[in-house]
Amino acid sequence: MTAATHSSLFPQVPDSADAVLEGLDPEQREVATALHGPVCVLAGAGTGKTRAITHRIAYGVRAGILQPSSVLAVTFTNRAAGEMRGRLRQLGAVGVQARTFHSAALRQLQYFWPKAIGGSMPRLVDRKVQLVADAAAACRIRLDRGELRDVTSEIEWSKVTQTVPGDYAPAAAKAGRETPRDPAEIAQIYSVYEDLKRERGVIDFEDVLLLTVAVLQDRPDVAEQVRAQYQHFVVDEYQDVSPLQQRLLELWLGDRENLCVVGDASQTIYSFTGATPDYLLDFRTRHPGATVVKLVRDYRSTPQVVHLANGLLAQARGRAADHRLELVSQRAPGPEPVFTEYSDEPAEAEGAAHRIRELIESGVPASEIAVLFRTNSQSETYEQALADAGVPYQLRGAERFFDRPEVRKAIAALRAAARFGGNDHLLDDAVDLPSQVRAVLSGEGWTPEPPAGSGAVRERWESLAALVNLAQDFAAVRHQAGLPDLVVELDERAGAQHAPTVQGVTLASLHAAKGLEWDVVFLVGVAEGMMPITYAKTDEQIEEERRLLYVGVTRARERLHLSWALSRSPGGRPNRRPSRFLDGLRPGSTGTGARGAAGGTGGVERGFPAARTGPAGTGSPRRRLRTPARCRVCGRTLTDAGEMKLMRCEDCPSDMDEGLYERLREWRAEQARRSGQPAFCVFTDKTLMAIAESSPEDEYELARIPGVGRRKLGRYGADVLAICAGREPAGEQERD
């Protein structure tokens, strides 16, 4: 949830330029009134940076100093750009362009293509993975799914760092990148990939920036036309710019210096994509006359959360750490962060779900709770645990709210009711706007009580419930508003991608959580090997992992839970340890971290030992009570053993890879022939179907499939994973 939606949803538009400045702290006011020359805002987490820069733009527009059409504000995600447009609209600054780098560049490229290049602009490909696969095949290089994804990322990194195929190998070595294949092979694939694009008349996402840069460099007349349009630039999240984006920004600016950048080097977490904080840290060197404002008043988090965040950075090393900001909480004290150790990952997920349910029952809205993890592969365990606990959830990074089919259909129904409501019997007994909306949406599937389960039906209901809640908030502020007014509001919000809050616990990776905040945050899997991630080897990579954890910590407003598991699965060897980043910060640990002046002792919990140990003094494990299995499609409780293996009802749609299933069946037949036993003794049909539906990428994912026990994992795991990855199995290998 964003700060914008956490505050009043429908604030009154300020009646003057001076009114725009009301409520800003001294440093934010300094940002808002510094309208000329280069300005650098170093803004710590939760210090109101978006508030400061949107009020800066709005103040300039409302005071007549800035023309709305001459301002271009750029950021890195459509969500952030949409939020910025929404805030500017609320401040009365209509007509300001707030876009991502790619969106702004694409708009310019489409406009100038006929003039600068001629003909029709090539088609933009949404996903380049298939093109990369075709390029690898043309080079006679076989890539499994993981390698294909990683090679694609290497091509993207090359393009945003302006590295041509011939220079890839030395550039990757200089940057210390761990390449997924031999650098010469990647350079070859990269070169053929570029050839294939030209042959097929398509461009990719990075080409949009590259081609815009080329046009602005080669056509001074086009560059001057763009500069005549845009006189003032604001760049949010400036620590995340790539060399290519920086070059585009320089071409937009020309020899002018009406530039305001905002960022925090301690939140640089996208260096693997080519992002670098150097442009932020070197801003004063490049612009000696720059005004630099530091925002350190943290309005988001309690002193206890802030002290933990500051403690994390106190241990940091490197250039970004040298410029860290010491946050000062502006909130009343809250509870200490809770550190919890569990025996295994399923226990950790159940423990988090148990506490979340208690919080919701105590009155904390589900939408104000988040579970954050390092990798997306961790999500499924928490989805199942929350579903078993009857807790609604939403996955961050899924389809945008206003793009959901049920939302589009619901808004169309509201628009029809606004036009012809007098003839709609559903509205006969509806006396106010909220009741009218409930009546209309009842025809779309909304009910006063949510449906059981956690599948698609529940997700559709959550979307409609968000519209009902939005109508209630809208009516509370605009008492005389009717359906036509609400439809206008929804259209404006859709254009700005300013979505209402969906009532469900958020599940998100730490990268996807950037820019968001919640009252309660569960940081899970904070163990060595996951945080920092295993493949983080260099000092720079380790420090980026620390910054990623810092971003996670600073998402919490009031309550923060950090947890880790000693083993991956029940009964596994307890050889894991808490993340090194917590040394000196969690109670009972030693290290260089500092709790901060107002820090307390913190709370310590050890999971739920009573539910997992035998009689007192025996130390023997007790079998973990299993919660009911539910269909991953419709949410119905499963009782049939075959359905429980598939984790879906027999009648629910399957996403099985038919080709993979047939390859697994052929392999199973060969294994059965060799061992002289029936095929089902290797794996049953249902287990093979479950494997073909989930297509596991590692032993952990394979072991989670019912029917794949420890013995079969050891005996057949390598072969099965090879088949899933598109490779030939090495043959049966006994692993006793």
Binding site listing for ATP: 43-50
Label the pairing between strands 505-509 and 369-373.
parallel
Task: Find out whether 231 and 67 touch, Cβ atoms under 8 Å.
Answer: yes
Measured from the Cβ of residue 47, the count of other Cβ atoms closer than 10 Å reads 26
- Return d(Cα 601, Cα 588) in angstroms, integer: 10
User: Partners of 203 in the beta sheet?
Assistant: 124
At 534, phi and psi to the nearest 5?
-55, -40
At 139, phi and psi to the nearest 5?
-90, 0
Six token digits for residue 451: 């449906």
3-state helix, strand and coil shares in percent for the chain, rounded to the nearest 5? 50, 10, 40
Convert 326-353 to b/e letters by CB count within 10 Å (16 or more is b): ebebbbeebebbbbbbbbbbbbbbbbbb
- Return d(Cα 215, Cα 455) in angstroms, integer: 48
Task: Find out whether 123 and 702 touch, Cβ atoms under 8 Å.
Answer: no
Six token digits for residue 424: 């709609």
- Return d(Cα 21, Cα 449) in angstroms, integer: 43
Write out the binding residues: 43-50
Label the pairing between strands 328-329 and 297-298.
parallel
Q: Is 605 exposed, middle or buried, given 0-12, 13-18 or 19+ CB atoms closer than 10 A?
A: middle
619: left (phi over 0), alpha (psi -120 to 50) or beta: left
- Return d(Cα 412, Cα 409) in angstroms, integer: 5
- Return d(Cα 92, Cα 85) in angstroms, integer: 11
